[in-house]
Amino acid sequence: MTQRNCNILCWNVRGLNDVVRQDTVSLLVRDTASTIVCLQETKLQNIDQGIVQRTVGAKFTNNFVALPATQTRGAILLAANEDYFHLTDQHLSANVVTATCTMRADGTKWQITVVYGPQGDAEKLQFLQELKAIPRPAHGRWLV
């Protein structure tokens, strides 16, 4: 693949716990030709390859990172089309998913961080500390 561009879909889906919502996201991923998908508030405690395939497509099923929900709150899914990108060095914390994204076209690496912040004041302070604790990438390329 020689493509160096990427189409990123970032969406607070407010729950992926029924197939109609999963199918709606799938259509949007297809219609926008998204190559990287960042979904917040999936509200799912378990995101497996089946859910990823139904929600974002077969090309994402072996190349994703999921932060599970706390009870029925939050959760993050970061998935990249394996034809264009490879996700490695995945780090998860309470409200953050970070991974190194390597472009298959030329091996360029960059870091991507997806967040879903809490609502309470005390939790917001912890969230900001969480963000400050993420190591900066040596190569300097970082998308948050």
Mean pLDDT of 69-83: 92
So what's the pLDDT on residue 3? 57
Global pTM reads 0.94
pLDDT tens-digit map of 112-124: 999 998 888 888 9
What's the distance, Cα to Cα, between the start and end of the chain in Å?
25
Q: Could you tell me the pLDDT band of residue 91, with boundaries at 50, 70 and 90? A: very high
Q: Could you tell me the pLDDT band of residue 104, with boundaries at 50, 70 and 90? A: very high
Mean pLDDT of 73-77: 92
Q: Give the closest residue to 102 by CA, choosing from 29, 31, 1.
A: 1
Q: How many CB atoms lie within 10 A of CB 97?
A: 24
Task: Indicate if the alpha-carbon torsion angle 41, 39, 70, 61 is positive or negative.
Answer: positive
